[in-house]
Structure 1
Amino acid sequence: MSATWGRNWSRVTPPFAYRPDIRKAIYTTNTIESLNFSLRKLVKGRGAFPSDEAVFKLMFLGLRSITKRWTMPVLNWKAASNHFAILFADRIPVL
């Protein structure tokens, strides 16, 4: 385990360079897990799909209904967004 951490240390540590309030805004594990659970629940109830397009349509419609339930704002998102706009000015367009 420690060898794996050592080999991937450069990928593990970058999030820790952000301030604590920014890190809290970008930790989205619960949100992602909830989304994955909802999408799995959609697919699990179906047997086989007649085509790939049918799966894409189901996912699209599922995502539309799932996002309607997202009412809680991301904590500290304004501060995180401003911080990222400064750090990544070359990647984030100014609106």
Structure 2
Amino acid sequence: TDRIVEEMNEWMSRPLDPVYAAIFIDAIVVKVRDGQVANRPFYAAIGVSVEGRKDVLGLWAGTPGQGEGAKYWMAVLTDLRNRGVVDTMFVVCDGLKGLPDSVTAVWPDAIVQTCVIHLLRNSFRLTSRKYWDRIAKELKLVYTAPSVQAASDQFEEFTASWGEK
């Protein structure tokens, strides 16, 4: 395992491309057994190059018992910048409070975009559980539309259909 740890450390410190079209970031909390079982966040960043190539930029293990936090994301984003990422057009992430400020501090010109899954989850909070499947199906027509106009038309249909529900 020492060899694997050494290789992982080398991989996590490798230089990165200076510019990415988009960087997707998210965390997942998993149960980890290390003497005792504890919830531990793992942070991931995936870059999409300007040529469209996807690259896992890094994986970071947070502190056991600590949930996902904007402060830790600031350290992750700073690490990416220190490894050579000068700029990105978009950072796609969840709606974590403080995360857009962390992104802007590292890459001032980046556009912060909430990912579709988190946008859907946020819309579910406003509706009854019995409508979730139908809402997801109808909203998919909006975010998978082939053009801006088609998305706008689908969204108009969605709002007309749902009204005040």
Q: TM-score range by the shorter chain?
A: 0.3 to 0.5
Query: TM-score normalised to the size of structure 2?
Result: 0.22
Query: TM-score normalised to the size of structure 1?
Result: 0.34
> Whose helix fraction is larger, Structure 1's or Structure 2's?
1
> Whose strand fraction is larger, Structure 1's or Structure 2's?
2
